[in-house]
């Protein structure tokens, strides 16, 4: 979660070791793509996640340091899911737009929104704009932007639409529908479970 007092760049602190994380918005989107891939094995996904977040880090431990990466992936998932609003009493919360945005399918609309409202060219911000900064700016996009209008179409139930407009709304829902409304938070939880299983297997074999 973005704060106004801390560095937006993510670091993992583990047993006295501080390791830089590539937490740019495009890295996190590539992480979502990795989790959703049907062509990769569970082990490939774990190795891919480690490479995405730590491939350029000079301070990252060797890949055989299972305990570190198990801890690190949990911290990264927690940071990605962290959102300041809508928390329940036990602190749990759903990500606000996770079921209504496809960062690939909606890339053009997201790009246009950032350029329209902030004059930010996201293609020039790859590797620089951090995920928590991107997410805060995304949440702040005006209802006048195309991506926010698309989200409203996906979210709003037909029962809330005037009968005279329902046919047009249904057409819009079909046009902007997502093939897969999978929850990214659930995907990350699943990946963490995969990581835990692999960790147990490695420890057993070792």
pTM score, whole prediction: 0.82
- Structure confidence by residue, pLDDT tens digits, 17-49: 999 999 999 999 999 899 888 898 888 888 899
Residue of higher predicted confidence among 41 and 181: 41
pLDDT by residue (tens digit) across 128-155?
Answer: 999 999 999 999 999 999 999 999 998 8
pLDDT at 1 over 90: no
Say yes or no to pLDDT of 106 above 80: yes
User: Is residue 19 a contact partner of residue 57, using CB atoms and an 8 Å limit?
Assistant: yes
Residue among 81, 182, 96 nearest 139 (CA):
96
Mean pLDDT score, 151-178: 87
- Determine the Cα–Cα distance for residues 176 and 181; give it in Å rounded to an integer: 12
Average pLDDT over residues 46-74: 89
């Amino acid at each position: 979660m973005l704060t106004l007092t801390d560095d937006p760049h993510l670091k993992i602190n583990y047993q006295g070791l501080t390791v830089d994380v590539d937490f740019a918005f495009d890295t996190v989107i590539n992480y979502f793509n990795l989790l959703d891939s049907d062509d990769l094995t569970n082990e490939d996904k774990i190795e891919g996640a480690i490479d995405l977040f730590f491939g350029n880090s000079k301070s990252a431990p060797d890949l055989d340091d299972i305990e570190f990466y198990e801890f690190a992936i949990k911290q990264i998932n927690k940071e990605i899911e962290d959102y300041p609003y809508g928390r329940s009493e036990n602190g749990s919360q759903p990500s606000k737009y996770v079921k209504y945005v496809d960062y690939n399918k909606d890339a053009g609309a997201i790009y246009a929104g950032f350029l329209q409202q902030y004059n930010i060219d996201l293609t020039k911000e790859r590797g620089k704009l951090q995920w928590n900064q991107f997410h805060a700016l995304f949440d702040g996009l005006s209802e006048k932007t195309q991506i926010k209008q698309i989200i409203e179409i996906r979210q709003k139930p037909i029962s809330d639409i005037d009968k005279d407009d329902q046919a047009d709304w249904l057409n819009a829902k079909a046009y902007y529908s997502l093939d897969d409304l999978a929850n990214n938070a659930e995907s990350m939880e699943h990946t963490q479970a995969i990581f835990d299983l692999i960790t147990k297997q490695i420890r057993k074999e070792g």
